[in-house]
Every structure is written in structure tokens, then in C-alpha cells.
A and B are shown apart, each in its own frame.
Chain A
Amino acid sequence: MPADAVDTVVRLIAIELEMPEDRVRSATSLRGELGMDSIAAANVLFAIEEELGVELVLEDVEHLDDVAEIARVVRRARPTTGS
């Protein structure tokens, strides 16, 4: 897993929520502070999978509320099989 998982997660959240990356990076709660709802969360997770070529176990990540935790799960994820 590439070391820049955090950067990727931050960038994709910033795109989804349409806010500066710094704001995402400094947030302690994505839900409480940035208002990320379940649809936005799913969009981010799908984007992460697509961009990094990994497959996440959705149940493991959907409840996560900060960037570092998400990045940790992403680093452990297995590469997508097949195409």
C-alpha cells in the first residue's frame, strides 16, 4: 500500500465535500465537523477503491469518522482481483 494513503483520502474527501484539503486534514470528526453523510461516505469509499485499486470491506469503514482511521483501513486492504 502506497505511503500517501492519507493524502489520497484527504483529496477525495475534499472533492466530495467541495472544501479545501486543509480543512479536511484538520478535521477531527468528518461527520460532526464536515457534515459528511452516508451518501458522501459511500462515494468517497468507491472513489478510493477505484483510484487505489483496492477492495474495502464496507462494514469496516462506513462507521469511521476521521481521515487517519480510514487511511489505516485502506493500507490494510487487499488489491482488487481481476480487472
Chain B
Amino acid sequence: MAVVITGMGCVTPIGTGRPAFSAALRRGESGTRRLSRFDPSGYECQVAAEVVDFRAEDFMPLREVRSLPRVAQLAVAGARLAMEDARLRAWPDPTRVGVLLGTSGGSGSYQFEQGLIFVERGVRRMHPSFPAYAHNGVIASECAIQLDAHGPVFTVSSACTSSTDAIGLACALLEAGTVDFILAGGSDAPLAPLLFASFDRLGAMARRFNDRPEQASRPFAADRDGFVLGEGAGVFVLEKRERARERSAPILAEIAGYGATCDAAHHFTQEESGVDATRAVVEALRQGNLSPDDVDYVNAHGTATAQNDPFETAIFHRVFGERAPRLPVSSTKSMVGHLLGACGAVELAATIVGMHEGFLPPTLNLDEPDPACDLDYVAHRARPAQIDVALSTSFGFGSRNAALVVRKPDDAG
């Protein structure tokens, strides 16, 4: 592929903007705290990864601060930061700019809040813009409205692979010549009682670490007991390599390949055989004409659920064979939590920061690995390393699988 990333914007539980995010990754900071958005005392899990340093008014007009759903606010902030990072004050031709964002929870939290108002106080008390904000497409269209993108603007919703898919599809739009620039990534703000409660009931979230929130997200650890739900956004400016060179833009990474598959088997988990999951990775490598031997680092989906971590480990054994035990694999969900539809974008951002700055983001809290998880997970602390090629995987409800492979640009600047 000839698509490059020239800017990134992240709004995450460990920092907003590339410098803050990067510093937190390097230090191995946990973004998990006791949930403050609402009272969690009735739930088994009482922790979450909230975005705490985000001031919406820094990114959008005051009127939007009050009314726009948080999921869209985070998206707009991510997109604005990405544009700044790409040194773009304005688009050369706004009609050639698209927005393609992924979300899973999407406007669900907003719908829930407004639904409560409807039931308790009647329709007149509901937000008058509800119909325009209640659909998931709002996260992309608000970015378009506020950042003047007049090309194709839409939202992908494919559970936890949403933003990985959005980035992959964005590459296809660029390669097809449909757009010159595209803001691609994802946003999710699921920290409202409805989704939180249902994940809690499902037993999918960590529950034994309420007294030590920063230790709750424990991917690959023997004593892991589920994910930590988080919120955030990750957005990238993507463009063709030639165009980026023409305008002397800083190239952060090249997107080498994207693979997406579905086991078409189960509502929640992947098929144990991993055939389709592996195919997503193989497809991404093939598109980039890369060998598994070329991969220097893997940012895993690594949710810290009982099912995901050994499953994913087995996939990496299949793909990387004898080299698997020596290949660094980490889960940055140990730091930022599980951002649902935004996880792939934020994890790609972590991967690219590591590639750009020469370090492997760590897996926190990996005191004792699960015996079924036998790879080098970069436990506890970041490690200096040269990353030329990296893989980022995402797996989602509906037995979806997605993989992105990124490569350091030839003229890394």
C-alpha cells in the first residue's frame, strides 16, 4: 500500500495529544481509577479508564460543549489533534477530504441518558437535537462539520474491530482515488450505567481489583479476571505517500496491509481453531508483501478475558512459528483499558509512537503469566527497541477479526 499516516490525535485515559500519550506509554502509566462518572457501588466491577484531562472547550465551540454527545466530542478532539499533528491548518481541497470513524457503543450512552429524561420528565425535556445525535454516524459527521471535510463521511460499527476496520477501509478509499486525505480512527464513550451494567452482568469486566484500580487491567496474567472498560478516541490523518512527500509532511508510518475476516460462528467469542483470525493477519502481511519474520512488534488485542488471551497467543504461535517466543507482544489495554470501538485506533497510535520513538510499550500488571500465555509480553516496563514493522490485532463480538500492519517510513522524519 502507498498510504501513510501523517498525523495522530489521541484522547485517552492516560493522556490527550501525542506528547502526553507517548510519555505515559513510556512510563507505563495506568489510566484505571475508581469510576467517577456515576456511582458504581452496586456493581461487581467498580473501576474504569476515564478520560480525565479532556476539556471539550479546547476543541469546539461552547454550544457544542453543552449539547454534543461525549463520544462525538472525543472524536472531534482526536480529529483536530490529528490535523495539528499533520501540520494541516486547512485542507488544500475540502471536497477531497473524507472522515471514516469506528465506534461500538456510539451514541448508546447518549440515548440512554436522554431515554431516562424521556421517561422521567417527558419528551419536551429531551434534547431537541436528539434525532441528529442519536445515530452512530454523528461521530463522523460532527468531525466533518467542525473540520470542513466535504468528501465521504461515515461511521463503521463492527464492535471492537470498528476503528481498525475504519482505518483499513480508509486506505481503500485513498487507493481508489476517492479522496486525497481522510480522517480515520474511532471513538467510544461507553461509561454510562447501561452498557457498564450489562458488561458487569456478563462477567466480562475485572472485579477483584476494586481496591487497587491501577492493577485491574491484567492482560495475559494468570490472575486476570476481565477487561477494564474505558473511553477515548484515536484519529489519524491518512494520505497517499506521494502527496505527503510533495507537501513535505512528517510521515509517522506507512500502512502496509489490512486484513478483516469473520468466523461467522459466535456472538461473543472467536472459533477455537483460529482459522479466520489467522487469515486476517496473513492477509495484512501479504498486502504489505511482508514475511512474518519481518515483524518486530505486535500490539495485541489483549483484553485480559479468559478467552481472548490464550486464543490470541495461539494465533501468534501459528503466524510466527519458532520465532513467536522471542517476538515482543504487548497489550496496551493494560494502560488505557478497553476502549471498545476505539481500541484499534488507540492501539495503533501506541504502536506508531513506539515505532517512531524506539520503544516497546509494556504490558502492565503481568506479575505471573497464564501458563497458556507463553510469549514475551514486555511485562511491566517499556523497553527500548527498533521497530520497523509492527502488527496490531483487534477481535470483536460477532467473531470478527481485523489486523493492521504498519511499517516505518523509508525516510523516517
Residues of A within 8 A of B (CB): 15-16, 18, 38-39, 42-43, 46-47, 50, 58
Q: Contact partner of B63 among A42, A43, A58, CB < 8 A?
A: A43
Is B128 a contact partner of A15 (Cβ separation < 8 A)? Answer: no
Is A15 a contact partner of B62 (Cβ separation < 8 A)? Answer: yes
Is A42 a contact partner of B66 (Cβ separation < 8 A)? Answer: no
CA distance A47 to B127 in the complex (A): 11
Closest CB in chain A relative to B60 CB, distance in Å: 11
Is A43 a contact partner of B62 (Cβ separation < 8 A)? Answer: no
The answer, yes or no, to whether B61 is at the interface (CB within 8 Å) is yes
Q: Contact partner of B66 among A18, A39, A47, CB < 8 A?
A: A47
- Beyond the given pairs A43-B63, A43-B129, 19 more chain A to chain B contacts, judged by CB atoms under 8 angstroms and listed by A's residue number, are A15-B61, A15-B63, A16-B63, A18-B61, A18-B63, A38-B128, A39-B128, A39-B129, A42-B127, A42-B128, A43-B66, A43-B67, A43-B128, A46-B66, A46-B127, A47-B66, A50-B66, A58-B124, A58-B125
- Interface membership of chain B positions 52-95, coded 1 if the CB is closer than 8 angstroms to chain A and 0 otherwise: 00000000011100110000000000000000000000000000
Residues of B within 8 A of A (CB): 61-63, 66-67, 124-125, 127-129
CA distance A43 to B62 in the complex (A): 12
Measured between beta carbons, the chain A residues less than 8 angstroms from B62 are 15
Closest CB in chain B relative to A38 CB, distance in Å: 7
Closest CB in chain A relative to B212 CB, distance in Å: 30
20 sampled A-B residue pairs with Cβ under 8 A:
A15-B61, A15-B62, A15-B63, A15-B66, A16-B63, A18-B61, A38-B128, A39-B129, A42-B127, A43-B63, A43-B66, A43-B67, A43-B128, A43-B129, A46-B66, A46-B127, A47-B66, A50-B66, A58-B124, A58-B125
Measured between beta carbons, the chain A residues less than 8 angstroms from B67 are 43
CA distance A40 to B125 in the complex (A): 14
Main secondary structure of the interface of A (DSSP, over half): helix
CA distance A15 to B128 in the complex (A): 17
CA distance A38 to B124 in the complex (A): 12
CA distance A15 to B66 in the complex (A): 10
Measured between beta carbons, the chain B residues less than 8 angstroms from A47 are 66
CA distance A39 to B126 in the complex (A): 11
CA distance A67 to B40 in the complex (A): 42
Nearest CB in chain A to that of B67: its residue:
A43
Closest CB in chain A relative to B14 CB, distance in Å: 30
CA distance A15 to B67 in the complex (A): 12
Closest CB in chain B relative to A22 CB, distance in Å: 17
Nearest CB in chain B to that of A37: its residue:
B128
Closest CB in chain B relative to A26 CB, distance in Å: 20
Closest CB in chain A relative to B275 CB, distance in Å: 51
Closest CB in chain A relative to B142 CB, distance in Å: 15
Closest CB in chain B relative to A34 CB, distance in Å: 14
Closest CB in chain A relative to B117 CB, distance in Å: 10
Measured between beta carbons, the chain B residues less than 8 angstroms from A18 are 61, 63
Measured between beta carbons, the chain B residues less than 8 angstroms from A46 are 66, 127
CA distance A11 to B332 in the complex (A): 43
Measured between beta carbons, the chain A residues less than 8 angstroms from B128 are 38-39, 42-43
Measured between beta carbons, the chain A residues less than 8 angstroms from B124 are 58
Closest CB in chain A relative to B218 CB, distance in Å: 36
CA distance A16 to B125 in the complex (A): 18
Closest CB in chain A relative to B67 CB, distance in Å: 6
CA distance A47 to B64 in the complex (A): 12
CA distance A16 to B129 in the complex (A): 13
Q: What 9 pairs between A and B have smallest CB-CB spacing? A: A42-B128, A39-B128, A15-B62, A16-B63, A15-B63, A58-B124, A47-B66, A43-B67, A39-B129
CA distance A42 to B125 in the complex (A): 9
Measured between beta carbons, the chain B residues less than 8 angstroms from A58 are 124-125
CA distance A39 to B125 in the complex (A): 12
CA distance A15 to B57 in the complex (A): 12
CA distance A15 to B60 in the complex (A): 12
Nearest CB in chain A to that of B122: its residue:
A58
Closest CB in chain B relative to A64 CB, distance in Å: 15
Measured between beta carbons, the chain B residues less than 8 angstroms from A16 are 63
CA distance A43 to B244 in the complex (A): 42
Measured between beta carbons, the chain A residues less than 8 angstroms from B63 are 15-16, 18, 43
CA distance A18 to B127 in the complex (A): 19
Nearest CB in chain B to that of A51: its residue:
B66
Closest CB in chain A relative to B164 CB, distance in Å: 35
Measured between beta carbons, the chain B residues less than 8 angstroms from A43 are 63, 66-67, 128-129
CA distance A51 to B339 in the complex (A): 31
Closest CB in chain A relative to B39 CB, distance in Å: 12
Closest CB in chain B relative to A31 CB, distance in Å: 15
